[in-house]
Structure 1
Amino acid sequence: MTLALAAAIPAATHRVAIVRNIYSRHNRGRADAHQPATVAGIPVHEPASKAALERHLAQLAAEGVETLVVDGGDGTIRDILTLGLPLFGARMPAIALAPSGKTNALAHDLGIGTRSLEDAVAAIADGRRVTRRALAVTRAGTAVVLHGFLLGSGAFVRATALAQRAHRFGAFNGVAVGLSLASVIGRTLFGGDNGVWRRGEPMALARDGRVAIDHQTYMFLAAALTRFPLGLAPLGNGPFADDRVASLTIDAPPRHLPRHLPALLRGGADDALARAGYHRCRDRQVELDTTSGFVIDGERFDGGRIMIRRGPAVTFIAGR
């Protein structure tokens, strides 16, 4: 970092901290005794666990930090919002993201391509401020709220496992998405109606308090993203109201998939898709009950009954 870069941050009036995920793809093996405790005068926090992250965020909340520079991926943002929002409340810091994860879907949504930690710090001075409201996911009978941007169940859980395999072979970002999507489509088309991909699983779904689904379901997908990688639009073409949960539910087995696949992937023909069992919806609240678990921003959680809403607005610092 240069002195000019450090001077670009109004340190006297603006409290900044860096949180680096040492387990993110680009950061593995970098955390050691030689890593600096500060970068351009900004303290660097490298928590090694979620419990440690919570302690660091509590410290930053007590210090009144106003901006977090986050060196990590989608899962890092999920954990920072999940742990940080209860600690900061209405004073949640703005987030300048240096994407270093495997898929970086949120970075794509924010219009951030490859951005180094230095670029993220520099963007504090003059980057565009945009707000996003993540999905707020509450498990029945608990008070813990997960905050993330992409949630799925059913086939989406298996698709995430395929994506992890693609990562192990060196495919990341849009490449990993494309390879995983191609594999899911192939397994669904040629697996037979009794195959694990096509037969689905029992799900119960209520939209704004009204029961919508209680049968075998291929996949449920919900997101708080405005743009997907590769120009995909599985939830339809926006803009979407930021107080609604945009979702897609596909009945099992998927009907006439080759015919409907182009519209399904590119956001078109909602009425025709709905008649074939592909349902796009916008709801203030979705209640999902699934036995197979769900994935939110790359991490799998156990099944059960969950409530999905939109969380509070959080400011992100995008590109200039």
Structure 2
Amino acid sequence: MDGTVYEFERLPMATQRPVPAAARRAGGGPSGALVGVIRNPRSHRNKGHAPEMAERPDVITRTPRTREELARDLVEMAGMGIAMLAVDGGDGTVRDVLTCGASCFGENWPRMIVLPKGKTNALAVDLGLPNHWSLAEALDAARRGPGVDRRPVVVNGAGVNGGSLVGFFLGAGIFTTATNEGQVAHRYGAFNSFAVGLTAVSGILQGLFGTGSRGWRGITPIKLFLDEEAREVRRSQYGPPETRYAILVSTLNDFPLGIKPFGKQPDGLKYLLVDYPLRRVIALAPALLAGWEGALLGRLGVHRGHAQEAIFDVGDKFILDGEAFPAGRYRLTLGPKLNFVAP
């Protein structure tokens, strides 16, 4: 529903068996390599528009309405031997395709195309895609260049939250509040970078001048343990020791409005942790989001770094690519290397 963030009670479970590589036939048609298209008809810029190039025999378009249908469509496409897989939607659609496709493609994904039709398209920004990137333009670009490689974040749960997710941008704490505020901006017609800008300005002002310990000044039980040693990210003296103000984790390099929340971290699971909503920290938010890396930040409870794997423990819901998932303890790892078509 517009104006809200959909909340899941648990992580999705794999419902399909992998398609062995030997069972995937080489797909092709009169115009060349076979292209599978997963189209989300509910995405912002897809409403009221017909699928692109659906009449071509080498373009197989599916519009699943449920995750079960999506999983079946992806198994079908894997068995057909598609050479390219186009995701026609926003960041949430990309997350659903990667999550449902993990069990059938494994480490051997087809070449990926993103058609940025959602309200938020952070992955498209990182890939350098134009706002209006058509399937025809993407196929032309696929013939011209090798594309770019990206690895998503894999989120694995345990117990009642068993299952897994695959996406690109995870956040909790104040990021959950920011995501809800962004949905309000969407309702009033602000999307993509404009919505990010409005939400950031609103958050800084409310964090600076607000009172109490909720909303834009709320804190959340959050812990982050890095790599095989499971060493916890250090914490400053500010705020209750079991809580943090914000956490962001991603593998992306570039973000809307040119913000650089992780500074100059190398590839891997990049993270940003903020311990407590000190007004000095909130006042520094513009410089922090621009990538500033002063020594003062650590003393104020702002921590950046990277890892190959991590344990993420959160006492409230977290956000992955625009939708909310339940509190719990999760293992974060790097997903398979995916090759994306880019201009």
TM-score by length of 1: 0.89
- Among 64, 67, 77, which residue is 2:84 paired with? 67
**Post-superposition offset of 1:266:** 1.0
Report percent identity of matched pairs.
39
SS at match of 1:287: strand
- Among 164, 168, 174, which residue is 1:149 paired with? 168
Q: Distance in 2 between matches of 1:37 and 1:230?
A: 34
Worse-superposed segment, 310-319 or 136-145: 136-145
Q: Distance in 2 between matches of 1:146 and 1:270?
A: 34
Q: Per the alignment, do residues 121 and 260 of structure 1 end up closer, same or farther by CA in structure 2, a change over 3 Å counting? A: same
Q: Per the alignment, do residues 192 and 98 of structure 1 end up closer, same or farther by CA in structure 2, a change over 3 Å counting? A: same
**Post-superposition offset of 1:42:** 1.3
The root-mean-square deviation of aligned C-alpha atoms, in Å, is 2.2
Q: Distance in 2 between matches of 1:11 and 1:124?
A: 17
The corresponding residue for 2:192 is 173
SS at match of 1:38: coil
Q: Distance in 1 between matches of 2:286 and 2:332?
A: 28
In the alignment, structure 1 residue 266 sits paired with structure 2 residue 290: yes
SS at match of 1:91: coil
In the alignment, structure 1 residue 235 sits paired with structure 2 residue 262: yes
**Post-superposition offset of 1:10:** 7.8
Structure 2: where are the runs of 5+ without partners?
Answer: 1-27, 236-240
The corresponding residue for 2:223 is 204
The corresponding residue for 1:97 is 114
Q: Distance in 2 between matches of 1:100 and 1:39?
A: 21
The corresponding residue for 1:4 is none
- Among 137, 140, 144, which residue is 2:155 paired with? 137
Provide Cα deviations, 1:31-57, integer angstroms capped at 9, x if missing partner: 69xx98534641211111211111100
**Post-superposition offset of 1:118:** 2.4
CA contact (8 A) 2:30 2:58 kept: no
Structure 1: where are the runs of 5+ without partners?
Answer: 1-8
The corresponding residue for 1:120 is 138
SS at match of 2:152: strand
Worse-superposed segment, 42-51 or 226-235: 42-51
Q: Distance in 2 between matches of 1:83 and 1:195?
A: 35
CA contact (8 A) 1:69 1:121 kept: no
Where is the strand percentage greater, Structure 1 or Structure 2?
1
Provide Cα deviations, 1:96-142, integer angstroms capped at 9, x if missing partner: 11110112110010010121232223323224411100111111236
Q: Distance in 2 between matches of 1:217 and 1:80?
A: 31
Q: Distance in 2 between matches of 1:270 and 1:128?
A: 37
SS at match of 1:75: helix
- Among 18, 23, 39, which residue is 2:37 paired with? 18
1:178 maps to a residue whose letter is: G
The aligned length equals: 306
The corresponding residue for 1:188 is 207
Q: Per the alignment, do residues 58 and 270 of structure 1 end up closer, same or farther by CA in structure 2, a change over 3 Å counting? A: farther
1:249 maps to a residue whose letter is: L
1:90 maps to a residue whose letter is: E
**Post-superposition offset of 1:268:** 1.4
The corresponding residue for 2:305 is 281
